[in-house]
Structure 1
Amino acid sequence: MVRELERKRQSTRFPETAPAANPVFFRTYSRRSPAGLRETWDEVCDRTLQGLVELGKLSREEAEILDKMQRNMKALPSGRWLWVGGTDWIAKPKNFSGAYNCTSTNLQDWKAFGLMMDLAMMGCGTGAIIEPRYINQLPPIRNRLNVKVQGEIGATPKDQRREYTEISIQGNQVTIYVGDSREGWVESYQTLLELSTDEKFSGEVQVFVDISDVRQAGETLNGFGGVANPVKLPVLYQNCASILNKALGRQLNSVECCLLIDQAAVTIVAGNIRRSAGMRQFKSDDELGATAKDNLWQQDAEGNWSIDPERDALRMANHTRVFHRKPTLEESIDAVRKQYYSGEGAIQWAGEAVARSNIDLLPTSALKVDFLKAYEQGTAKDWLQKRYPEMDAEELEHRLARFGLNPCGK
């Protein structure tokens, strides 16, 4: 009876043409109140609209237009804003990125790996540019990591848990006490990666990862909303160590970098924080990246299908080959054919993406065509500097890297 009353109270009149709207809405965008009840559609509209009014300093007339459009489902804010908009959580500067659906990161140091996990735990889709010019800046793997996870999730009483990760180092022995927070998870992950290249260690590093302070599955995620599910956290550290150890004595290749990101993604998706939404951008001539997902599933002699466990995490993101020259017709056809059969094999003409994202500098077709010629010749930077000499170096680099700004679109 109680369940039926709650179901009736929480029903919302969505269009009959959208039969899945109610379950999707209450699963994905309706937050629970302190009393445990889900928000109604009107309550979500109230919350998110108030957040937009404050963020954009909107006038009454502007707010009324948005209110009318949203309540009548003619135009909606982003899915991320439907979840976090208007909350106390998103008002904190450290959480601002949680309002964005997509992000892109140049994978050039261990901080970039940590940043991507942090963004994913805020609900952002994560894009990574894994081109040689970036990953070649990573140091070679010099330390073998022997990882042992100790303690049990939820073992520490709630009022005694560490919020942030703490590190204890004694010789070649390191203990990572994982903090019970987003920052705690991220720091523990990034610390493990950094240990593999830390020059103050010699030989094998014994790493103990203590997960006793991490909250149990089902406990509330304060602020962000939802509930915790750290089921994959204990294996994250050992899986990452396995990838790092295989690269001992050399730099990571592009697929190994991708796997390290995706191991974190597996942990986060399993934790009910968000769906899997990732994009990995490889250089067009990177054969490892181009074939990373080939034959991911294998069939044995008895007809049973299984997935390669060492590459399973790659399913967390789509892979795109980035061309810094215009792809040929044959290359384009091959890419479409591969996508037809496997769902993978996307390609991107970076010059076109950069041109579109710099339309303020290329307002005419003639300018765009001229810029694309320069891009293919490798002189796009000089082209922009000549026409916009007042542009500083930081802005120039940012504009030329904009092919990664929207990892969800190719």
Structure 2
Amino acid sequence: MRMTNQVSNIRVAKDAARVSLRTRVSSASGGPALRVYKKYLPNVQKRDGRIVPFEFDKVVNAIYKAMLATNEGSEDEAVVVAHKVAGEMMRIAKTYKNFLPTVEGCQDEVERQLILADYAGAAKAYILYRAERAKVRKEQGAVPEHVRKLAAESKRYFKNNPLGEFVYLRTYARWVESEQRRETWIETVDRYVNFMKENLGDKLTTREYKEVREAILAQEVMPSMRAMQFSGDPARKCNTCFYNCSFTAPSKLEDFAEIMYLSMQGCGVGYAVESQNIQQLPQIEKQSGEKLGTHVVADSKEGWCDALTLGLRTWYGGKDIEFDFSKIRPAGSRLKTMGGKASGPEPLRSLLSFARERILRRQGRRLRNIDAHDIICKIGECVVAGGVRRTAMISLSDLDDVEIRDAKKGQFFLTDPYRSVANNSAVYETKPSNAELMDEWVALMKSGTGERGIFNRGSLAETMPERRLKLLRKKYGRKNGFIGQVGTNPCGEIILQSKQFCNLSEVIARAGDTEKTLLRKAKLATLLGTYQSTLTKFNYISKDWTDNCEAERLLGVSITG
């Protein structure tokens, strides 16, 4: 009974202590002791791992509550004991450079200092209150046993690799709504393998599925990380989110919306803003003064992309339009299918306003290559604003395009910050003259960014595998140097036709690998890539994407370690 009374007394004393101490502690906050504490004890780690500022008044408040509950000690005495607690923490901080006090550690020191100062009753009340709070936390916030077991089993796959575990938890562990938690590594791999079974069925044996699962768990091989992230509902709705990267040569207004859609699906986009593409866009009509009815933007990826296409067509046609963004969910709302947080309507509003201004500036003429480049960069910026970065971009431009060559000259990050979204490379169709090469390198030096890079399209026919060369020559004939206007993904690691995806899987090389083990890993990675290449159920984008992917079914197996 006495224990219960002491704990109850602390609760009753809580509000009284807070009110009484508010003036006293705040008036002392500018004192020399507190300034020293801020230097040596800037932060404290909470039980859930969060690091928050160290607040001296909270220590005083906790001590005074215990003293009030037992009628033992005054406000001034609580401050004295709190200084002893902070002083001991500071002594440790001076001795150990990277010392970070914890809430539990501070509370242990409060108990010790109360006992040393002969406040036995207050110390006992404080200890009992801590015990009760620990019991409540255990009952209310207990981790279910199956989750605890999964977490423990998953952690062993990241032995000696805390950075890898951090990246996984930050990016690829999806939210489990029913249990209000993030999934574990084992659950992520099982989600990928189960979706694989859903698509392939009995095309693989039980033994093969098991071997694939164990190899991914042990991080011997890795599939496309977009596939790891989006297997399940997102990929079931549209397979584009399975692919890390893509390439397109925009020549129609709808192509801009496709770039936006792919970016929102988490797919990197390489794009060619060369004259042979951009100058196929129609001439911009002069504004007639006609205004269309207000368009209500739907709260979906398709709704955003439709709004962009509608705006482009309207402004190109010499008309104007207003958009109603009221249906778009507010910033910070959870994105249940793709994960992450919504950015609200502002990024889309900014993109549409930007595109309108660029188009109206060119009335009676065609859009410049730099205008198309900037609109696409603005699309990337719009998507980046949706919480975390969802896309990467590379821009390929004509070697003699001075405006794009100088796009990142000087303090562009202040005047045109959206240009930071894309890396820029010049396309070399033939060997450049000394003067051309010198101009490019001088511009690269002066920019201070190391751009533009080099995309050597002219030599691809000599380096491309014979199988691909035959296919492209058959498709394009003599047009565009026999191979068409091929480009690359943002990493510059694969040659792609316009409207084609990059399909990745990875061999993880370890120090103990032999030729035999590496060949086994390569076989498994190829199997994963082959499976991924079959996923061509694409929504929204044109049929050309499906045709190109099914015609070649590209595999990209890389090695890392």
> How would you bin the TM-score normalised by the shorter chain?
0.7 to 0.9
Residue 296 of structure 1: CA displacement? Answer: 3.2
Distance 1:278 1:6 in 2: 41
2:329 equivalent in structure 1: 215
Letter in 1 for 2:450: G
Whether 2:304 is the aligned partner of 1:185: answer yes
Q: Residues 58 and 283 of structure 1: is their aligned pair in 2 closer, same or farther, counting only changes over 3 Å?
A: farther
Residue 54 of structure 1: CA displacement? Answer: 3.7
Q: Residues 397 and 46 of structure 1: is their aligned pair in 2 closer, same or farther, counting only changes over 3 Å?
A: farther
Q: Percent identity?
A: 26
Distance 2:312 2:279 in 1: 16
1:228 equivalent in structure 2: 342
Normalised to the residue count of structure 1, the TM-score between the two structures is: 0.74
Selected match of 2:234 from 89, 92, 95:
89
Residue 355 of structure 1: CA displacement? Answer: 4.5
**Bigger mean CA deviation after superposition, 315-324 or 341-350:** 341-350
Q: Residues 340 and 55 of structure 1: is their aligned pair in 2 closer, same or farther, counting only changes over 3 Å?
A: farther
Aligned partner of residue 123 in structure 1, secondary structure: coil
Distance 1:335 1:349 in 2: 19
Q: Is the CA contact 1:339–1:345 (under 8 Å) kept in the aligned structure 2? A: no
The unaligned stretches of length 5 or more in structure 1 are 147-170, 298-305, 364-379, 385-390
Residue 69 of structure 1: CA displacement? Answer: 1.6
1:400 equivalent in structure 2: 483
Q: Residues 22 and 361 of structure 1: is their aligned pair in 2 closer, same or farther, counting only changes over 3 Å?
A: closer
> 1:358-405: CA deviations, max 9, x gaps?
431569xxxxxxxxxxxxxxxx99xx4xxxxxx355998898236314
Distance 1:6 1:290 in 2: 56
Aligned partner of residue 466 in structure 2, secondary structure: coil
Letter in 1 for 2:297: V
Query: RMSD of the TM alignment (CA)?
Result: 3.4
Residue 338 of structure 1: CA displacement? Answer: 3.8
**Bigger mean CA deviation after superposition, 8-17 or 63-72:** 8-17
Q: Residues 343 and 145 of structure 1: is their aligned pair in 2 closer, same or farther, counting only changes over 3 Å?
A: farther
Whether 2:133 is the aligned partner of 1:50: answer no
1:260 equivalent in structure 2: 375
> 1:125-162: CA deviations, max 9, x gaps?
0111111111111112224599xxxxxxxxxxxxxxxx
Selected match of 2:455 from 348, 366, 383:
348
Letter in 2 for 1:189: L
Distance 1:84 1:358 in 2: 31
Whether 2:270 is the aligned partner of 1:121: answer no
> 1:196-223: CA deviations, max 9, x gaps?
1126x4xxx3x32111000112223232
Distance 2:264 2:323 in 1: 20
Aligned partner of residue 142 in structure 1, secondary structure: coil
Distance 1:232 1:6 in 2: 38
Distance 1:393 1:174 in 2: 43
Distance 1:347 1:142 in 2: 36
Aligned partner of residue 119 in structure 1, secondary structure: helix
Q: Is the CA contact 1:31–1:226 (under 8 Å) kept in the aligned structure 2? A: no
Residue 357 of structure 1: CA displacement? Answer: 4.2
Q: Residues 34 and 17 of structure 1: is their aligned pair in 2 closer, same or farther, counting only changes over 3 Å?
A: same
Letter in 1 for 2:424: H
Distance 1:90 1:256 in 2: 33
The unaligned stretches of length 5 or more in structure 2 are 1-45, 50-141, 494-561
Letter in 1 for 2:211: I
Whether 2:144 is the aligned partner of 1:37: answer no
Residue 30 of structure 1: CA displacement? Answer: 0.6
Normalised to the residue count of structure 2, the TM-score between the two structures is: 0.55
Q: Residues 263 and 398 of structure 1: is their aligned pair in 2 closer, same or farther, counting only changes over 3 Å?
A: farther
Selected match of 2:404 from 284, 289, 292:
289
1:322 equivalent in structure 2: 427
Residue 288 of structure 1: CA displacement? Answer: 1.5
Q: Is the CA contact 1:145–1:241 (under 8 Å) kept in the aligned structure 2? A: no
**Bigger mean CA deviation after superposition, 25-34 or 53-62:** 53-62
Residue 189 of structure 1: CA displacement? Answer: 1.2
More helix by share: 2
Distance 2:452 2:354 in 1: 26
Residue 337 of structure 1: CA displacement? Answer: 6.3
Selected match of 2:250 from 107, 114, 118:
107
Q: Residues 401 and 252 of structure 1: is their aligned pair in 2 closer, same or farther, counting only changes over 3 Å?
A: same
Letter in 2 for 1:40: T
Alignment of 1:67-78 (within 5 A): 67-78=213-224
1:59 equivalent in structure 2: 205
How many residue pairs were aligned?
344
**Bigger mean CA deviation after superposition, 131-140 or 237-246:** 237-246
Q: Is the CA contact 1:358–1:399 (under 8 Å) kept in the aligned structure 2? A: no
Residue 80 of structure 1: CA displacement? Answer: 0.7
